[in-house]
Structure 1
């Protein structure tokens, strides 16, 4: 299968839930929609379209076999605007914003003097009166250019307000038997509406062709259009990695680790020393098993944007291959999860 690319453009507001628990009647506010859904959401929408357009009957019988899952492999998911020529990914979690909220700066690492922290260096802001923020986005080219320039280099960072707006929605639960409203089960959600020309760029592999069409996406099955596009110019590696003494592993999509945060696994790689990390709050990711007709158990995942900093002890090992093997052990049949980039780090 060859890699192809789809541009998915929402035609309505969307709602992508996190794994945060919610019970109507006990809580009034459900959650704010995530901007980028979990890869499984995109995979599910495309797989449904694949089954329908290819005449498959298994979908109607709610029986999906392992060989069916291999018909579609989702790789990277980006925020994309083809008119502006912008392709965004979650910003690394070792960027800081100043008190004027005008510029963003990369970090610095200092020697660790705290014995209860499992790293030889600690992350600190490179400029006074700055703080780390989450839920930010960066142009994919900047990940390999301005971001690697290190301290005090100003990097353009985008907030969700730059390409989307939140739309509140109020609802109330309905009885499954009478289809009438249920008392004391009022709730409120915040949907996300993308600005003009913004959508999702999806890198995938499939034996079946996706050309143009409509699919249902997210909570409430809102409509989105999709069309196949030519391969965009997206950097996926750096030529400076072999010469760099330090390298960073940037987590591009939610990643599952047996230990939860990946520290245990990544702290035992021959030829590399894990010297520091900047990890976001873990995600709880589940789903629904259509074969068993029951929810899947929740699993912890490290969020996109998390950073692991390594010091190279020799040049004989390929860090990307090692980490790919480690991640694969925990992401079997998890299309789109566990994606990462290895980039050089210009240490002090």
Structure 2
């Protein structure tokens, strides 16, 4: 499959909710994610396709099939620096940095100390306690297969989220639905996210399934997205989009590393499974030996069908940058492993890279 690239540049600040429910009795701030869940980009791009193709839009809604997940697939979402043309993803969570910005790679060691932990290996932090694990930084994709894979930490380019995003706040007031008056203590803040300068934007991989369209929407032509505007995230903020090519992404997608049976799988997007991750992977002959991850995510969303949309099942997921050390019990190639992690998801979740690991 060949993904097409689209650059998306918000015209204003954005509002990307996570899956956590807002409770005004507990919190006074509604948080906004730096980058929307990939399903948000899926919805924005598919809506743009409908907007740009009148005949297709008419038939799509008349058929009432809501087969959008068979028509469109989202791949990786990147942060893109327009000035240097470089692309970034969340940094792997087995990297550590000290106060002088020295970077070191943590090591998975056999767990001989903690009987309560379920994995055979644990990630050991550097002996120097001034090193902290990275969770809010981004890595240049050019450095994944060179500096990171080869354990040449000095060659890594990392960017802190605060160098890319800034937060703005607006005050909201809770209104009583019955008498339309202000509720007592119902003041809250809404957090908005924007890039800190015009150098930054998003790049999204997407693919239109023309084979499916030819079989189910005969004689309907769908134009690819070249340039225009779309709406993204909460409050439908306007964004400018345009098609582009990027040689760094082409190189990143075509890297292959395969030999042995021990690997690191690094989630490069938010990831969730319909069942326990250990059970799911073990059924597919992949055994988790160790993991380095952050706080769990709660991933939900809405279906297109219906006036207001039907809420989806809420899943407990893993953030981008999560690293799992695995043993492969079957003769898989890299693409086989990626497809197992992908679980058939077309909305941009469950992307990963797979690297050979040596001790």
Q: What TM-score do the two structures reach when normalised by structure 1? A: 0.86
Q: Of 204, 218, 227, which residue of structure 2 is paired with 1:212?
A: 227
Moved over 6 A (4+): 58-61, 175-180
Deviations 1:109-159 (A, max 9, x none): 222113332322211123512121312111111111111122765633211
Per residue, is there more helix in 1 or in 2? 2
Deviations 1:21-73 (A, max 9, x none): 11346532111x21111011111111111112212147888x85243333321
CA distance in 2, matches of 1:305, 1:251: 5
CA distance in 2, matches of 1:221, 1:233: 30
Q: Is the Cα–Cα contact under 8 Å of residues 237 and 341 in structure 1 kept in the other structure?
A: no
Q: Is the Cα–Cα contact under 8 Å of residues 25 and 186 in structure 1 kept in the other structure?
A: no
Q: Is the Cα–Cα contact under 8 Å of residues 66 and 304 in structure 2 kept in the other structure?
A: no
Q: Which residue of 2 aligns with 1:71?
A: 71
Q: Which residue of 2 aligns with 1:274?
A: 288
Unmatched 5+ stretches in structure 1: none
- 1:136–1:182: structure 2 CA closer, same or farther, 3 Å change rule? same
CA distance in 1, matches of 2:305, 2:284: 38
CA distance in 2, matches of 1:291, 1:66: 7
- 1:152–1:90: structure 2 CA closer, same or farther, 3 Å change rule? closer
> Does 205-214 or 168-177 show the bigger shift?
168-177
Q: Does 1:310 align with 2:326?
A: yes
Q: Which residue of 2 aligns with 1:49?
A: 48
SS at 2:231 equivalent:
strand
User: How much does 1:267 deviate?
Assistant: 3.8
Q: Is the Cα–Cα contact under 8 Å of residues 298 and 315 in structure 2 kept in the other structure?
A: yes
- 1:193–1:122: structure 2 CA closer, same or farther, 3 Å change rule? same
Q: Of 229, 237, 244, which residue of structure 1 is paired with 2:244?
A: 229
Q: Which residue of 1 aligns with 2:91?
A: 91
Q: Which residue of 2 aligns with 1:36?
A: 35
Q: Is the Cα–Cα contact under 8 Å of residues 146 and 152 in structure 2 kept in the other structure?
A: no
Alignment of 1:1-348 (within 5 A): 2-24=2-24, 27-31=27-31, 33-55=32-54, 56-57=57-58, 65-98=65-98, 100-113=99-112, 114-129=114-129, 130-150=131-151, 153=154, 155-173=156-174, 183-194=184-195, 195-206=197-208, 207=210, 208-234=223-249, 235-239=252-256, 241-244=257-260, 246-260=262-276, 262-270=277-285, 273-292=287-306, 293-311=309-327, 316-318=331-333, 320-325=335-340, 327-328=342-343, 331=345, 334-345=346-357, 347-348=358-359
- 1:259–1:69: structure 2 CA closer, same or farther, 3 Å change rule? closer
Q: What TM-score do the two structures reach when normalised by structure 2? A: 0.84
CA distance in 1, matches of 2:341, 2:259: 24
SS at 1:233 equivalent:
helix
The RMSD of aligned alpha carbons is: 2.7
